[in-house]
Amino acid sequence: MKVQRKTLSLAEKLYLPAIFKGLKITLRHMFKKKATMQYPEEHWVVPEGYRGAPYLVRDQHGRTKCVSCQLCEFVCPPKAIKITPPGPQVNPNVGNVEKEPKEFEIDMLRCIFCGYCQEVCPEEAIFLMQDYSLTGESRKEMVYDKEKLLALGGVHNDPIEKWKRKEMEAREQGVG
């Protein structure tokens, strides 16, 4: 069976309608609002509740808030956190009050930014920062050690310091 095709007009033979349709689409896109962001000069505004990279913080006295409980290491699904406890020796600066970890590492290439480490931390030593641009030139560079995590995390000011809180609780129990 032979298929009958309609004969093309002169404009259709010269592809003029197709060219005008393409130009119309091009002109429509030329005057639309631009969707491209000029990164790194422009940054996205991250939404509330965004879970970024985890960092360690210090208290207002400059002490590391982490006490080597290792809960974050145990709860981390990809096992990106590695903590080495300080051992039995006592730090002469703070006594046996806080056991600052000897080593604390987070492999940012393995981290899935789930936020479990922040949720489980009893000392509020880990916070998720609102950054989305982690870069490095090697795998070794993407393993953040304790000093780098503390430098990026900064200081977290508590309205009530935990040791003063315990003193206040002891006074209240003694008074009541």
**CATH number of 119's domain:** 3.30.70.3270
Residue 9 is assigned to a structural domain of this protein: no
141's tokens: 């560079």
Give the pLDDT of residue 161: 65
* Cα–Cα distances in angstroms (integers) from residue 126 to residues 37, 81, 112, 162, in the given order: 31, 12, 15, 16
What domain range is 149 assigned to?
54-161
In the block, which residue shows the tokens 């995390």? 153
Q: Flag whether pLDDT at 10 surpasses 80.
A: yes
Enter the pTM of the model: 0.68
Give just the sign of the alpha carbon dihedral 88, 94, 100, 102. negative
Q: Quick check: is 43 in a domain?
A: no
Dig out the tokens for 59 from the structure.
């208290």
Phi, psi of 32 (to 5 degrees): -75, 160
Number of domains the chain is built from? 1
Q: Is residue 73 part of a domain?
A: yes
In a domain, 106, yes or no: yes
User: What span, in angstroms and rounded, lies between the C-alpha atoms of 127 and 106?
Assistant: 13
Residue 38 lies in a domain: no
Q: Is residue 40 reached through a cis peptide bond, with omega within 30 degrees of 0 on the bond before it?
A: yes
Contact yes or no for 59/158 (Cβ under 8 A):
yes
Q: What is the distance between the alpha carbons of residues 145 and 34, in angstroms, rounded to a whole number?
A: 40
What is the C-alpha separation between 49 and 56, in angstroms, rounded? 18
> What tens digit of pLDDT does each residue of 97-151 get?
568 888 999 999 999 999 999 999 998 899 998 888 888 999 999 999 999 999 9
Tell me if 86 is assigned to some domain: yes
The CA distance from 88 to 96, in Å, is 9
What distance, in Å, lies between the first and last C-alpha atoms of the chain? 103
Residue 119 within a domain? yes
pLDDT in tens, 19-39: 999 999 999 988 888 778 888
Which residues does 145 contact at the CB level (< 8 Å), separation at least 6? 103, 104, 105
**Does the pLDDT at position 72 exceed 80?**
yes
Judge whether 143 lies within some domain.
yes
